[in-house]
Amino acid sequence: VAGGYLRDPAAIYAESFRIIRDEADLSGIPDEAEPIAVRMIHACGMTDIVSSLTIFEGAVAAGRAALDAGAPILCDSEMVAHGIISANLKQQNKIVCRLTDPRTRRIAEREGTTRSAAQVDLWGDDLLEGAIVAIGNAPTALFRLLERLDDGAPRPALIIGLPVGFVGAAESKAALLADSRGVPFVTLSGRLGGSALAAAVVNALAIGTEER
């Protein structure tokens, strides 16, 4: 490849974050939430997601405290689970995704819903209480989580609500934004979201924008 290319991982991260801070309008983002915005932009290549980003007041402190307390991270997809850099989790927090659990398919068929939503029912009360929930794929998983909270399930510490797409994504995130049932959250309004963005929020909470 003529001319070579930047290949040192630390230098690539540093240069990426420098470009993002140079180009993105982060003026509306509180200091403590800035690493989340930067890592989300880094994950998708788009500086303009900031305009539809909401980081609820207290979300960063709640997320960090949950990680420090060893809380589990409940993910709606295998992609989210595998996007989290587990080496950065100092408490070896458990990363949970039950999409391929045999019970998930049975619940999905019985309830006439997606497996993504069905597995939310396998996040038992003990697991959900104080957890970080990271939804980066399925609107139905976010809708189902809100239903469970309405039914009195224990509160997670933080909801990362970033389902993506054309059916239910905007609506489920609007429902979270309108009433998060008392739970701090991070979300992007509209259709944009995704597993890489959801994982980026967890990685930002764990490590900020150090070069990893």
Both structure tokens of 105: 């398919």
79 touches a copy of itself (CB under 8 A): yes
Q: Rounded to whole angstroms, how far apart are CA atoms 188 and 162?
A: 6
Please say whether the beta carbons of 67 and 207 come within 8 A: no
82 touches a copy of itself (CB under 8 A): yes
> Which of 24, 26, 42, 76 is flagged as catalytic?
42
Total of chain residues touching a copy of itself, rule CB under 8 A: 52
Beta bridge partners of 95: 73
Report in angstroms the alpha-carbon separations of 145 from 71, 84, 105, 159.
Answer: 17, 21, 17, 9
Phi, psi at residue 156, to the nearest 5°?
-70, 165
167 touches a copy of itself (CB under 8 A): yes
108 touches a copy of itself (CB under 8 A): yes
**Is 82 a known active-site residue?**
no
Which residues are marked as active site?
42
Residues near a copy of itself, by CB under 8 A = 1, 5-9, 12, 15-16, 19-20, 42-46, 77-79, 81-83, 108, 111-115, 117, 139-140, 143, 146-147, 150, 164-169, 171-172, 175, 190-196, 199
